[in-house]
Amino acid sequence: MVTKDKQYVEHMDALQAFSRGLQEPEWMLQLRLEALKQIDSLEPPVIERLRYTRWPLWQVPNLTGAPAPLSIDPYEYIEDKADTARVVQTGNDTVIETLPESLKEKGVIFTDLHTALREHPELVKEAYMTKVVKPGENKITAFHAAFMNSGLFLYVPKNLELTDPLEAVFIQNSLVEDSFVKHVLIYADTNSNFNYVEKFLTKGDKKNAANIMVEVIAKAGAQVKYSAVDQLGVNSTVYFHRKGYTHRDATIDWAIGVMNSGNVIADFDTDLVGNGSSSDLKAVGISNGRQTQVIDSNVVNFGNSTQGNIFQHGVILDSATLTFNGIGHIIKGAKQADAQQESRVLMLSDKARGDANPILLIDEFEVTAGHAASVGRVDPEEMYYLMSRGIEQEEAERLVIRGFLGAVIQAIPLKGVRDELVETIERKLTTK
Amino acid sequence: MAVLEIKNLHASIEDKEILKGVNLTMKTGEIHAIMGPNGTGKSTLAAAIMGHPSYEVTEGEVLLDGENLLELDVDERARAGVFLAVQYPSEIAGITNAEFMRAAINSRREEDDKISVMEFIEKLDEKMALLDMDEEMAERYLNEGFSGGEKKRNEILQLLMIEPTFAILDEIDSGLDIDALQVVSKGVNQMRGEGFGSLIITHYQRLLNYITPDVVHIMMDGRVVKTGGAELAQQLEAEGYKGLVEELGLDIELDED
């Protein structure tokens, strides 16, 4: 490891001051300090097919609590929309927060994490890093728990069904040097049903680390449809950890576009704990330039009759690397569980490196499971056919890429998300 | 008027020579047919003109108004005015038929002169109606899950949408029933005119009942062995390739009836 012994505990005083400055409750401070003590002794998680010990993920964020000297105009990235449920954060600051009155009245909470800590401390305390992700799991979770510097809290009450999606936009402020340690906590109470749409972007080109955790708790019968388009910048080194936890008959469906420009580990996990619960993970990724992105999808079936699907397609250009690890794990006792996965990677350049690595771990007999994986190149016959109609090579490649990713994109239920993904793909392919 | 000249064209696949010096000249306003037994190089000729990556041209030229197409990339050849309709087009999932055709049309247009959505849809509707194609075919993925007949209609639809100067139709009639054959012929006949020439490769005379050729070429063993008018196709229908081999005194083994 690049870190030295006891490197982190030196920050204890600063961290205490930071927590007090944010008026955090005592339990939060204790959670931070406890995690801080563990960072030095914990190891980073093992990611199949990746060595990342030299990745600059470990820079302690600015703990002075002073506002960033350079700020961002969020309207560079978003449109002005009245009456939508939306939270926009630039760096650590929440700059836009709108929630229709009707939702407030019904008890929906959609606000930055520190506001939630003040206004709804019990709810946050119940859910924050208690069950889904725990601080002591590994070096990264401990680092996160200690140094989390901003976040978002979403609570949807029992039996509430929302038709319009809730939107979150996070713009990393890389006009300044500071680690981006963001926490998103989503609490879907019993039988609630909603769409949540998320975007991560970077403004500026300072070399920064990002350590992003998303926890989704789906209580009995809740249905969460989570969509995200990640577009963090070329100089951001990122560890993304999105993790869901399902109670009985709950569903968490993920649709994620991994379209970052820098080096990224994206860990997408779901623990299917309650009987009859399910999760469907759809991910598309593009790696280009010299970047490495590793997408590590992990669904664990604990409950009976749980169903986990992983469906991921990716494209690699230039001398980039893209790896899909698909891990389906059925725990002993999870009868009638089902774990399916398909990972496919298409390489468009001789220097591209791709990997699709399916792993099925099955400890129970009465189950069904299946996997498909492939790493391939563009069929020259397809390119010839497209070009024989006058389409230039670059445009033909773009069509093939869109077609290849389209299989996953078309399966995403929200049209707005599909369009956004297609646009992002175009953008990523034209800005090499 | 545009001219397509094929001069002493030699081409091979995996070092096996298939074309052994093809010569053929055609002009816009003309429909030419190439007939010949299987394995005689007809499809190789089409693929070599278009620039299929599996074929290597070892000698000769293909000139379009004096410009050697063989020096151009596949897409440049297409934009120069050549179109090839094939029997077994690629199936590409995720790209809709309409999207593909728009990209093809726009590849021929300047950046500030792309075809508008309305203009495109109107043209597409008109051409699909002519070919008796269901509207939903436009939104289906390119050739994916299309039947043999649907694929061929779709090739002709592209021909009508792109409006090339010269179209080569490579055995577009094989496996089609009479209805489909008539529809496909209707499409080609609609293109017929001053600014359009077509080279129709066919194994059977049948298609030529619907599209009357101005010139018929017979190809055998990698060469054009005889050229004549529409009556040559009829003669062939009556006497078969065997009769022609004997008439011309060729030393060729026919690997079929």
State how far the alpha carbon of B91 is from the alpha carbons of A345, B60, B76, B192, in Å: 19, 32, 22, 28
Identify whether A317 is part of a domain: yes
Read off the pLDDT of residues A113-138 as tens digits, 9 standing for 90 and up: 999 999 999 999 999 999 999 999 99
Could A387 and B104 be called an inter-chain contact, meaning their C-beta atoms sit closer than 8 Å? no
- Residue A147 parent element (H or E): helix A139-147
pLDDT tens per residue across all 257 residues of chain B: 999 999 999 999 999 999 999 999 999 999 999 999 888 999 999 999 999 999 999 999 999 999 999 999 999 999 999 999 999 999 998 899 999 999 999 999 999 999 999 999 999 999 999 999 999 999 999 999 999 999 999 999 999 999 999 999 999 998 888 988 999 899 999 999 999 999 999 988 889 999 999 999 999 999 999 999 999 998 888 888 888 888 888 887 776 54
Q: Give every CB contact of residue A250 below 8 A, 6+ residues apart in sequence.
A: A188, A218, A219, A220, A221, A222, A223, A224, A274, A277
A130 to each of A117, A124, A135, B22, how far by Cα in Å?
A: 15, 10, 8, 78
Question: CB of A135 within 8 A of CB of A167?
Answer: no
CA B93 remoteness from chain centre:
24
CB contacts, 8 Å: A390 with chain B? 75, 78-79, 104, 107-108, 162
**Which amino acid makes up residue A149?**
N
pLDDT at position B257, please?
46
| pLDDT tens string B147-186 | 999 999 999 999 999 999 999 999 999 888 898 899 989 9
Helix B148-162 to helix B117-130 angle (10° resolution) is 130
Say if A388 falls within a structural domain. no
Taking only the tens place, the pLDDT of each residue in A28-61 is: 999 999 999 999 999 999 999 999 999 999 999 9
Closest-CA residue in chain B for A384?
A: B52
C-alpha torsion A147→A290→A285→A313, nearest 10: -140
Tell me which residues of chain A have a C-beta less than 8 Å from any C-beta of chain B. 379-382, 384-393, 395-396, 399-400, 402-407, 410
A393 to B93: CB separation less than 8 angstroms, yes or no: no
Q: Inter-axis angle of helices B97-106 and B117-130, to 10 degrees?
A: 120
pLDDT above 70 covers what percent of chain A? 98
pLDDT band at A1 (very low <50, low <70, confident <90, very high): very low
Q: Is A142 exposed, middle or buried (0-12, 13-18, 19+ CB in 10 A)?
A: buried
Neighbours of B191 (CB within 10 A): 18
Distance from C-alpha of A83 to C-alpha of A86, rounded to nearest angstrom: 9
**Domain membership flag for residue A402:** no
Alpha helices in A367-431 (DSSP H): 380-387, 393-409, 415-430
pLDDT tens digits for range A57-81: 999 999 998 888 888 999 999 888 8
Residue of A382, A387, A422 to mutate for B, most B C-beta atoms under 10 A = A387
Tell me how many domains chain A contains.
1
Give the CATH superfamily of B3-92+164-248: P-loop containing nucleotide triphosphate hydrolases (3.40.50.300)
Q: Which residue of A has its CA nearest to B105?
A: A390
Flag whether pLDDT at A2 surpasses 60: no
- Contact between A283 and A315 under an 8 Å Cβ cutoff? The reply is no
CB atoms within 10 A of CB A54: 7
Encode pLDDT of A284-330 as tens digits. 999 999 999 999 999 999 999 999 999 999 999 999 999 999 999 99
- For A380, which residue in chain B has the nearest alpha carbon? B53
Triad B41, B46, B49: Cα angle to 5°: 120
Q: pLDDT band at residue A413, thresholds of 50, 70 and 90? A: confident
Angstroms from B95 CA to nearest CA on chain A: 5
What is the reported pLDDT for B93?
A: 86
Q: Tell me the shortest Cα–Cα distance from B78 to chain A, in angstroms.
A: 5
The amino acid present at B155, given as its one-letter code, is E
Residue type, B211: I
Residue A420 lies in a domain: no
Which residues span the domain enclosing A271? 9-378
Q: Which among B75, B89, B108 has CB closest to A387?
A: B75
Would you say residue A5 has pLDDT above 90?
A: no
Q: Do A391 and B104 touch (CB under 8 A)?
A: yes
Distance CA B145, CA B151 (A): 9
pLDDT at B70: 97
Q: Is residue A166 part of a domain?
A: yes
For residues A250 and A290, give the distance between their C-alpha atoms in angstroms, rounded to a whole number: 40
Through-space distance between the first and last CA atoms of chain A, rounded to whole angstroms: 32
Residues of A in contact with B52 (CB under 8 A): 384
Site from A346, A379, A385, A398 to mutate, B interface, most B CB atoms within 10 angstroms: A385
For residue B152, the surrounding DSSP H or E stretch is helix B148-162
Q: B107 and A388: CB-CB below 8 Å?
A: no
pLDDT score recorded for residue B159: 97
In A122-222, which ranges are E strands? 150-156, 166-173, 180-188, 193-203, 208-218
Over residues A133-146, mean pLDDT:
97
**Residues ≥6 apart with Cβ < 8 Å to B32:** B24, B26, B197, B198, B199, B200, B213, B214, B215, B216, B217
Instruction: Kindly state the tokens that stand for B86.
Output: 């094939």
User: pLDDT per residue over A234-271, tens digit each?
Assistant: 999 999 999 999 999 999 999 999 999 999 999 999 99
DSSP code at position A45: P
Of B91, B100, B88, the C-alpha closest to B145 is B91
Q: Has residue A418 been placed in a domain?
A: no
Confidence of residue A3 (pLDDT cuts 50, 70, 90): very low
pTM (predicted TM-score):
0.84
Taking CB atoms and an 8 Å limit, are B92 and A400 in contact across chains?
Answer: yes
Helix (H) or strand (E) holding A283: strand A278-287
Report the residue from B89, B90, B107 with minimal CB separation from A391.
B107
Does residue A429 lie in a domain region? Answer: no
Determine the residue among B43, B64, B88, B90 to mutate to test chain A binding: the one whose Cβ has the most chain A Cβ atoms within 10 Å: B90
Q: What is the mean pLDDT of chain A?
A: 94
Tokens of A201: 């972007």
Q: Does B7 touch chain A (CB under 8 A)?
A: no
Residues of A in contact with B107 (CB under 8 A): 389-392, 395
CA distance A154 to A160: 13
B104 touching A (Cβ < 8 Å): yes
Query: Could you state, in order of their start, the residue ranges of all structural domains in chain B?
Result: 3-92+164-248
Residues from chain B contacting residue A386 (CB–CB below 8 Å)? 90, 92, 100, 103
Is there a domain that residue A231 lies in?
yes
